[in-house]
Amino acid sequence: MKLLVCISKSPDTTSKISFTEGNSKFDENGVQYIVNPYDEWYALVRALELKEAGGGTVTICTVGSVADDSVIRKALAIGADAAVRIDAEPTDAYYTAMQIAEYAKANEFDLVLTGKETINYNGSQVGGMLAEALDVPFISLASKLDVNGSTATVETEIAGGVQVCEVSIPAVISCAKGMAEQRIPNMRGIMAARTKPLTVVAPADIQALTSFENYDLPPAKAACKMIDPENMDELVSLLHNEAKVI
């Protein structure tokens, strides 16, 4: 089975979020980039498990600049066979998805996996856009995935519960919690990653549909008001009269 896993970089979860250039750009100063956790823990690791069980190859694909190669090597160290970097700034989800779609069309994958969203833009858009461009089924927020021949069985979140469904491949599946356990790359993986193929592909001519104009931070919270644990009537009264939420 030929598996394609779309990965994105994201700032480490504990990064301080601030902006520069008149709040129009994310301030990368001192920010450590990681493989977006949903792409890594869930999509990539599950792809590797499927390959280990049934054979095949796992290729990772990202849209980014040469600065992102270190993040790609991290994903290779976890066990992907090869990587493709489409050499462009991922300006919006549409632009990113259409670039990956061009590559995926030319290389015919059985299954394309993405994380459920990135932790920086939280859009949850690339997978669905890619599926539409490839004209294949899309299942979002899968928590379990198995493949048997040309059929994938997927457990997915629905409002307040889960649903199990079947879909024929090729398909695009976005992966959420439950898919797989995190893998820490070992020394052998890290060494091997250095020599694994990382192909750089020129971008296709695509126009982004949206653009981030600027950012702002939520107003700082006022200090927490401490309430006497013996006096819950006071809390109820504050929630009613001051906060007006009950």
Partner 1 sequence: MSTLVYINSSNGIGKAALEVVSYAKKLGNDVVVVANGNADEASLASLGEYGASKVMVDRSVEGDSQQVTRMIASAAEATGASTVIFSHDLTAKSVAPRLSVRMKAGLVSGAVAVPEGNTVKVNVFSGKAFGHVKINTDKKIISLLPNSIQPEGGGSACSVEDFASNAGDSSIKVLETKKPEGEIPLPEAELVVSAGRGLKGPENWGMVEELASELGAATACSRPVADIGWRPHHEHVGQTGVAIRPNLYIAAGISGAIQHLAGVNGSKVIVVVNTDAEAPFFKAADYGIVGDAFEVLPRLTEAVKKFKSSN
The secondary structure of residue 150, as a DSSP letter, is T
Write down the least CB distance from residue 176 to partner 1, Å.
Answer: 8
- Give 200 or 243: the residue with its C-beta nearer to partner 1: 243
- Give 83 or 104: the residue with its C-beta nearer to partner 1: 104
Query: By CB neighbour count within 10 A (0-12 exposed, 13-18 middle, 19+ buried), where does 189 fall?
Result: middle
CA 53 – CA 51 distance, rounded (Å): 5
- Give 200 or 232: the residue with its C-beta nearer to partner 1: 232
Q: What Å distances lie between residue 12 and 42, 114, 124, 135, 166, CA to CA?
A: 17, 18, 18, 34, 35
Largest CA distance in the chain: 68
Which two three-digit tokens encode residue 119? 């932790």
CA 66 – CA 88 distance, rounded (Å): 9
Write down the least CB distance from residue 123 to partner 1, Å.
Answer: 5
Write down the least CB distance from residue 154 to partner 1, Å.
Answer: 9
- Give 177 or 194: the residue with its C-beta nearer to partner 1: 177
- Give 56 or 137: the residue with its C-beta nearer to partner 1: 137
Write down the least CB distance from residue 95 to partner 1, Å.
Answer: 11
Q: Among residues 208, 167, 199, which one has the least CA distance to residue 103? A: 199
CA 167 – CA 156 distance, rounded (Å): 12
**Omega prior to 170 cis, within 30 of 0:** yes
Write down the least CB distance from residue 192 to partner 1, Å.
Answer: 28
- Give 182 or 186: the residue with its C-beta nearer to partner 1: 182
Write down the least CB distance from residue 245 to partner 1, Å.
Answer: 4
Q: Which amino acid, residue 239?
A: L
Cα 40 from chain centre: 8
